Structure 1
Amino acid sequence: MSVSGLCELCTQNEIVDGCDRCGRLVCERHYDEASGLCTDCLTEVEPTGDDTRRPDGVDTYRV
């Protein structure tokens, strides 16, 4: 991606890529290359710890 500017999450570092889910332009620190998501969206899609928020039998959500 060829853009310049500051990360929309930290407003300190240069933009590396955009989130595939919300479209925010984020720096390397706030972008997960494997998923293509910013760190905010990643925590919403893949909650940390136990998965008590997911109904029984559901292990994948599609957005």
Structure 2
Amino acid sequence: MKITIIILFVIGFLLTSAFSLNDAFAATTFVDAFDVSSQETAPTDLAFNTDGTKML
């Protein structure tokens, strides 16, 4: 059984957030948030490994 996790990433000048979604592209179904502002003062992008399974 393969588990699919759908995540919406929102990148802003002062805040980057990741939201787990129950349905693809349905922002109203987000479950939680992840904030990187304590590690990065001005986030501008995200990077993933070659198969898209890990955020770097």
> TM class by shorter-chain length?
under 0.3
- Provide TM-score, normalisation by structure 2: 0.23
Q: Which is helix-richer, 1 or 2?
A: 1
Q: Which is strand-richer, 1 or 2?
A: 2
